[in-house]
Amino acid sequence: MRLKIGAQVVALGVVVGLLGLLVWKITNQDQKQARKNAPAPKFTLPRLDQPGDLSLAALKGKAIVLNFWASWCAPCRDEVPVLERAWDRYRKRGVVVIGVDQQDLSSDARAFARKYGMTYPLVHDGPGEVVAKYGLTGVPETFFVGRSGKLVGEHISGRVSHRELIQGIETAMQS
Amino acid sequence: MRAFAVLLAALVVGVPFAVASEQHPTLHELEGQLMCPTCQTPLDMSESPAANRIRAFIVKRIEAGDTRTEIMDKLVAQFGPGIRAAPPASGFGLLAWVLPLVLLVGGGAVIGVYAWRWSRSREPAPAGGGPAQNGRAPLDPDVERRLEDELARFE
């Protein structure tokens, strides 16, 4: 009788433990889309274009363009000139364009950056941790962070056009 | 003796194979141990651009003479531990290896104990003192004596 009760307690413990794991997994999922007007999820990532890290928190007060890309992504190639032009035009006005290379080999990403002449700051998110925080559905994807540190404007899924980029930057500079 | 011979043969064949696999890995072996980071399927089942880049990286590292562990470590440094198809046998990942074994052994023990108890409950009772052969409890000696008397009267 005592053995039977013991076995039941163990079985109940296993079921409760598995349920607990399931609840923990569901509540800890970061795959939520980053929302407009919400604070931009913070990150610190290693730089691809130079040694050291880049922290989003260190850029407080600046308008930021966050462009997620990867060297294996064909549309990412096409939008580099658009991003370069915006970086060249707006950097003196306190705008920072950051290229977040994700789920990619850093050696491939560096070769890509050299080949397509990317001069704006580049960081590497190999494991895709920041990708999860922003809830990306694919690459390329572009977000705008206002001077207040909040996400502003509409985030762009897919290749960003010059018009969309300028519109997003202007909104970020004003908020 | 035969078991020892089998074990020895397994060691003689298996150890050099494991060493060769570690020192000179193949793309096919490593593909089966990795996940495609963008599509969350095993690398050997993915044809995504990211998977093709990883395959190219593995080929390059094999040609450069890297061991299996070195290549795996480089990929984990780039993509995080999620690129491994199997969890590491350390830290929290150790649970995934140990838990099934514990459940298997524990479950086997519980089933074994229940089977033993069940088989014991079906064993016939020893002669005298225990239950009667027909499965019913033995009669009280007084009742037994009276029953014998009654039966003797009919004979």
Among A77-81, B47-51, B80-84, B138-142, which stretch is predicted with the lowest mean pLDDT? B138-142
Nearest CA to A61 among A175, A169, A165?
A175
pTM for this entry: 0.70
B37:A128 CB<8 A? yes
Q: How far is CA A170 from CA A38, A59, A68, B74, B97, in A?
A: 18, 17, 20, 41, 53
Q: Which of B52, B110, B113, B114 best tests the A interface by mutation, with the highest count of A CBs <10 A? A: B110
Record: contact B106-A128, CB cut-off 8 A: no
pLDDT > 90: what percent of chain B?
A: 39
* Average pLDDT score, chain A: 91
| Cα–Cα–Cα angle for B8, B12, B16, rounded to 5 degrees | 150
**Contact status of A103 with chain B (Cβ, < 8 Å):** yes
A2 shares its domain with A83:
no
Contact B53, B68 (CB under 8 A): no
Query: How many other CB atoms sit within 10 Å of the CB of residue A128?
Result: 20
Domain of A94, in residue numbers: 31-174
Residue B125 has what pLDDT? 58
User: What confidence category does residue B75 fall into, taking pLDDT thresholds of 50, 70 and 90?
Assistant: very high
Write out the H or E segment, with its range, that includes residue A141: strand A141-145
Query: How many independent structural domains does chain A possess?
Result: 2
Yes or no, beta carbons of B50 and A3 under 8 Å apart:
no
Q: What is the residue whose two structure tokens read 């035969």?
A: B2
Are A3 and A73 contained in the same domain? Answer: no
pLDDT of residue B18: 66
Half-sphere exposure of B61 (CA within 13 A, CB side): 23
A4 and A38 in a single domain? The answer is no
Shared domain for A58 and A136, answered yes or no, is yes
Look at residue B132 and tell me whether its pLDDT is greater than 60.
no
**Average pLDDT in the A72-80 region?**
95
* CB contact at 8 A, B68 and B22: yes
* Residue A161 pLDDT exceeds 80: yes
Answer yes or no: do A92 and A13 share one domain: no
Yes or no, beta carbons of B50 and A127 under 8 Å apart: no
Q: Check CB contact of A128 with chain B, cutoff 8 Å.
A: yes
- CATH number of the domain residue A60 falls in: 3.40.30.10
Shared-domain flag, residues A25 and A44: no
Q: Let me know whether A142 and A153 are in one domain.
A: yes
Could you give the C-alpha distances from A47 to A60, A80, A81, in angstroms and in order? 18, 18, 20
Q: Are strands A44-46 and A122-125 parallel, antiparallel or unpaired?
A: unpaired
